[in-house]
Amino acid sequence: MTPVPEKRIPIDDLLVFHQLARSLTSSFDLDTILRTIIEHMERFIEAEMWTLLMLDEARQELYYAIAAGGEEVALRDLRVKVGEGVAGWVIQHAETLIVPEAENDPRLRDELNGKASKVRSVIAMPLRGRTGVQGVIEILNPPSSQLTDYTIAFLHILADHAAIAIENARDVARIQQLTITDDTTGLYNVRHLYDVLTRELDRCNKLGQPVSLAFLDLDRFKQVNDVHGHLVGSELLARTGRRLQELSRKQDWCFRYGGDEFVILMPETGAKEAHAQAKILHRSLQATHFCLKGGLELTVRASVGLATAPLDGATIHAIIGAADDRMYQVKTNGRGEVRGA
């Protein structure tokens, strides 16, 4: 009997796989990983366009995270619902879809809706991680000679490694988020305040752009804990933190400093503008009625001190110290006001 010749993987393909695996394990930055995946897909298989869609679980939609082949702008704002189009079908069924002749396939029309170039064929593969399908890789208009069992099998291997790398990057991002987030309020914690304030003060020193900080202390908050208990106190702190975030501008940062103290960092904001913004926020916060569990309704009052760099100094301790001093001046003169320089 004549022995069956052993099928060997071409060395070029092994190099693509080796370099991809190496690149994916060298970074936990999601954008870098996504770009690396597309670049290696381009090297392995010919096509007119390569896209990678990620799942927005909250909205149950896919968005084009990255694309190569000249249609990036057309796809940037396009969304695909789960179950619709090629990518939506792949996410819903967690299966690879190969469409060699796309002209009469309604899934292509549903997905691209005329916003990208004419699609004649497509390979779409799910990115399956430990917790489910996270996204879809699409290869549009590959030559018919590329639609072989070997090519599809090799793409599956690449997609599996890509899914693991994406999931690892997301896990790292979640862990990093936990290290800079306050458990009770969901706001950034004091550790992150020092990091962000350091960067803003560097910008202030180099570019001459001011940065302001509001130090806010809730008045007589201990009475809430004494009268209603610490569970109610924690709930009120959490609700207050969320309200501060709602009342702050998009460019501002909100932090829980500790206990019943909060900080609002206002980049590129001078003393006069910061005082006006703090007054508006302060007034709106004190007018808020918090409806808590059990039908309890409470309000909060606060004393606020402001500081601005470089007017009040150029270091972290100088700015926080100046704002803290002014907040205590408010405390000793009746509470419930905003004091700036």
DSSP string, 22-45: HHHTS---HHHHHHHHHHHHHHHS
Q: Where are the domains of the chain?
A: 11-179, 190-339
* Beta-bridge mates of residue 208: none
If we measure between CA atoms, which residue out of 252, 257, 227, 254 comes closest to residue 242?
A: 254
Which pLDDT score, from 0 to 100, does residue 136 have? 93
Contacting residues for 69 by C-beta, under 8 A, at least 6 apart: 47, 48, 49, 50, 51, 140
Task: Kindly state the tokens that stand for 125.
Answer: 């593969």
pLDDT the model gives residue 6? 47
**Statement: the pTM of the whole predicted model exceeds 0.85:** no
- Phi and psi dihedrals of 287, rounded to 5? -90, -5
Q: How many CA atoms lie within 13 A of 306 on its CB side?
A: 24
Q: What is the largest CA-CA distance in the chain?
A: 101
How much is the pLDDT for 47?
Answer: 87
Lowest mean pLDDT among 124-138, 155-169, 237-251, 292-306: 155-169
Q: Rounded to 5 degrees, what angle do the CA atoms 173, 163, 110 make?
A: 105
- At residue 162, does pLDDT exceed 50? yes
Give which of 339, 330, 341, 340 is closest to 219, Cα–Cα: 330
pLDDT above 70 for 104 = no
Rounded distance between C-alpha atoms, residue 187 and residue 258, angstroms = 11
Q: Residues 40, 33: contact at Cβ < 8 Å?
A: no
d(CA 91, CA 132): 9
Q: Report the Cα–Cα distance between both ends of the chain, in Å, rounded.
A: 95
Average pLDDT of the chain to the nearest whole number:
86
pLDDT digits (tens, 9 = 90+) for 5-16: 445 556 666 666
Q: What pLDDT does residue 10 have? A: 66
Strand (E) positions, 69-206?
79-81, 97-99, 122-129, 132-140
When computed from its CA atoms, the radius of gyration of the chain, rounded to whole angstroms, is 27
Name the most confidently modeled range: 112-116, 137-141, 170-174, 303-307.
Answer: 303-307
Which residue in this structure is represented by tokens 């469409």?
A: 99
What pLDDT does residue 103 have?
64
Where in 100-208 does DSSP place strands (E)? 122-129, 132-140
Quick check: do 11-179 and 190-339 share a fold?
Answer: no
Q: How far apart are CA 184 and CA 232, in angstroms?
A: 12
* Average confidence (pLDDT) over 211-222: 95
Range 114-139 average pLDDT: 82
Spatial separation of the C-alpha atoms in residues 158 and 278, rounded to whole Å: 52
Superfamily of domain 11-179: GAF domain (3.30.450.40)
Q: What is the pLDDT of residue 244?
A: 97
Choose among 68, 56, 69, 136: nearest CA to 97.
136
Task: Place domain 190-339 in its CATH homologous superfamily.
Answer: Reverse transcriptase/Diguanylate cyclase domain (3.30.70.270)
Would you say 244 and 254 are in contact if contact means Cβ atoms under 8 Å apart?
Answer: yes
Of the given ranges (112-126, 224-238, 275-289), which has the lowest mean pLDDT?
112-126
